[in-house]
Structure 1
Amino acid sequence: MVKIALIGAAGQIGTPLSLLCKSSDLFDEISLYDLVHVPGIATDLMHIDTRAKVSGYLAEDSGLKKALTAADIVAITAGIARKPGMTRDDLFKTNASIIRDIFTEVAATCPGATCCVVTNPVNSTLPIAAETLKKVGVFEPSRLFGIPVIGGHSGATILPLYSQAEPPVNLSEEVLAGVINRVQFGGDEIVKSKNGAGSATTCMAYAGFRFVKAILAAKNGDSVTEEAFVYLPGIPGGKGIAAEIGVDFFAVKIELGKVGAVKALPIGKISENESQLLGVAIDDLKKNIATALSFMST
């Protein structure tokens, strides 16, 4: 029996993620939680002929606790989306409290679950999740993940490693710089193209689902490697990487096993330009993480 709890399931990421999970036939039970609409979404999904039982819970009557009870995997997409002109710091002020409250309940109800954080801005929300779990003594770094990237989650913290691409990338410096910028700021492109109606949603739902599938495959004994934003010192191989780059939360390639993350892999050889980008990414990440820790200390 495999149960996944989707927190924020009525949102623009949570709803397509719910559909992907139900249509995959990978789960026996899917529980949805949000402040609105999820009982109806659950009823709708139950008309899909896969085996998973889908239930929807609202905030009243301890709905979050009911959704999380006996969950093996928890995927969190709850929070507000970024709007045009909104900085990630502005976004943080709202979503930080949401993540803290959700993980307070995770700690009490399903502390052994594998948790995947998608809620913006992950560079800060994942450290908040970690600190919340630490405060009650149930933090297990091998079971807490952010979305799959190298470096961080947004802007200059994203580190595209085209020097490691196979087959090799053969682009001029000018063209490659443009490609790297588009990778780093692709989220802004989506926000602008939606004219204020949303941000990256369906592609994020797919990214979340891809990572959930990787977790399940690893639990079933497959050899799986994915990029993920993690607390490096708590994962085998990660302490040395954290010491080398000077930051504890960072996304690298992670070997997944039955218990979650079993090994963090080094960044590897990178180009001179990528080394410069890495320095910028680390500086920004330090600020993002400090913001999260400051929030949790107050």
Structure 2
Amino acid sequence: MLVTRNFAKCLVQSTINMTARSYQVSVMGGASEIGQIISFMLRTEPSVTSLVVHDMRENTPGIVLDLSHIPVNSRLMGFCGHSTIERALKDSDLVLFVGGVIKSPTLTNEAWFETNTAFIKNIAARVGKMAQMPFIGIVTEPINVLVPMAAEIMRCHGAFDPKKLFGITTIDWIRAQTLYATEHKMPPKTCFVPVIGGHSEKTIIPLLSHSRPTTNMKDPEIMQFTRKIQECDDIVSQAKQGLSSTMSIAYSVVMFAREIFRALDGQRVKVNAYVENNDFGTSYFSGLVNVDKDGMKSMQRFTKISQYECNLLEKATEQLRKDVARGKKILEVA
């Protein structure tokens, strides 16, 4: 009887330990359009027992108040302004950079780029001063340029682990999945289309040669499908009359976060991300990345790709080298 009781006690304790795993997430730029959607979704995520929302916008307290009315058993904290960045980052397991501004017809490319660069510089410098680097996911565009820049800033400030820095490109993967399923009248969950390269119109490469289930797409169809994936942002923006595709991107960010939580739980997972990787002719590359509790491991390789995909890869690699160089060139650490 004693053995049974001890076994039952251990079983209960084990169950408590398994269900008690919880994580703090900081959403930096959480009052932005996409930041609000991400914060809302994470507010109800079971693994998130502490959600931190930070932004420079004056309406940040109102966003946090709105989120506080959602009846969940998790802690919610809000911070506003430059002086509170360190407090917003403290003790977080995952930090999401989602701030800056979204491209719009009323905003010049120069203003868009300068605003988003300033946002990344500011937050990355504070992360670099942390005693231990958390997992970092960057959503702010242009990812191809800003992820390498963030890495150099963190290196300059001391605390940097390249295995924990990710440009979140999950949106490219789920777009390829859903459009492929629509094209062939299949359930989306049964389809898989790997996407490699980078995260811009010139660098996104859907590998239809490795898609599942396999189909007999002709060359013109493959080229048309590829262009559709590469131009998705513009297509959605035109359909929304100048607004960005915030909802699908927010969903993809939460998908990424869920996988990171599983990795922190001790599981081996895969995420689609743009990371530091020297195996493809450039120092940063996007693809399916293996991740565990310590961060990034290896990136999945795809052999026997088509000649068309080889040509795309060659051009994408050339562009990625320019993007990475641009990110490092504009680096100015105050």
The one-letter amino acid of 1:190's match is V
User: 1:174 maps to what in 2?
Assistant: 220
Q: Out of 291, 296, 318, which is 1:283 matched to?
A: 318
1:165 aligns with 2:218: no
| Secondary structure of 1:159 counterpart | strand
| Secondary structure of 2:318 counterpart | helix
Q: Out of 208, 214, 217, which is 2:262 matched to?
A: 217
Quote the offset at 1:297 in angstroms.
5.4
Flag structure 2 segments of 5+ consecutive residues without an equivalent. 1-21, 173-195
Aligned length: 286
1:263 aligns with 2:298: yes
User: 2:64 maps to what in 1?
Assistant: 42
1:249 aligns with 2:284: yes
**Equivalent pair of 2:198/2:274 in contact (CA under 8 Å):** yes
Q: What is the distance in 2 between the residues matched to 1:156 and 1:180?
A: 11
1:29 aligns with 2:50: yes
Q: Out of 233, 240, 264, which is 1:187 matched to?
A: 233
Farther-moved stretch of structure 1 (96-105 vs 77-86): 77-86
Q: What is the distance in 2 between the residues matched to 1:107 and 1:52?
A: 28
**Equivalent pair of 2:68/2:76 in contact (CA under 8 Å):** yes
User: 2:141 maps to what in 1?
Assistant: 120
Superposed, 1:61-210 pairs within 5 Å as 62-84=83-105, 91-109=112-130, 111-148=132-169, 149=172, 150-196=196-242, 198-210=243-255
Closer/same/farther in 2, CA of residues 297 and 34 from structure 1, 3 Å limit? closer
User: 1:235 maps to what in 2?
Assistant: none
Superposed, 1:53-68 pairs within 5 Å as 53-59=75-81, 62-68=83-89
Q: What is the distance in 1 between the residues matched to 2:88 and 2:332?
A: 28
TM-score (norm 1): 0.90
Deviations 1:38-81, CA, capped at 9 Å, x for gaps: 22222222222222211111106x22121111111100111111
Closer/same/farther in 2, CA of residues 89 and 287 from structure 1, 3 Å limit? farther
| Secondary structure of 1:250 counterpart | strand
Deviations 1:109-133, CA, capped at 9 Å, x for gaps: 4642100000000000101110101
**Equivalent pair of 1:84/1:191 in contact (CA under 8 Å):** no
Q: What is the distance in 1 between the residues matched to 2:109 and 2:262?
A: 33
Farther-moved stretch of structure 1 (202-211 vs 264-273): 264-273
Q: What is the distance in 2 between the residues matched to 1:282 and 1:77?
A: 26
Quote the offset at 1:223 in angstroms.
2.6
Deviations 1:158-189, CA, capped at 9 Å, x for gaps: 01001101111321211221111010010011
The one-letter amino acid of 2:311's match is Q
**Equivalent pair of 2:148/2:324 in contact (CA under 8 Å):** yes
CA RMSD of aligned residues (A): 1.8
**Equivalent pair of 1:74/1:116 in contact (CA under 8 Å):** yes
Q: What is the distance in 2 between the residues matched to 1:147 and 1:185?
A: 18
User: 1:236 maps to what in 2?
Assistant: none
**Equivalent pair of 2:129/2:158 in contact (CA under 8 Å):** no
The one-letter amino acid of 1:159's match is I
| Secondary structure of 2:33 counterpart | coil
| Secondary structure of 2:48 counterpart | coil
| Secondary structure of 1:129 counterpart | helix
Quote the offset at 1:13 in angstroms.
0.9
Quote the offset at 1:89 in angstroms.
6.2
**Equivalent pair of 1:17/1:205 in contact (CA under 8 Å):** yes
Quote the offset at 1:93 in angstroms.
2.6
Closer/same/farther in 2, CA of residues 46 and 88 from structure 1, 3 Å limit? same
Deviations 1:189-216, CA, capped at 9 Å, x for gaps: 12222222x2121111111111011010
Q: Out of 18, 21, 25, which is 2:39 matched to?
A: 18
| Secondary structure of 1:216 counterpart | helix
| Secondary structure of 1:28 counterpart | strand
The one-letter amino acid of 1:218's match is A
**Equivalent pair of 2:130/2:159 in contact (CA under 8 Å):** no
The one-letter amino acid of 2:249's match is M
Flag structure 1 segments of 5+ consecutive residues without an equivalent. 233-238
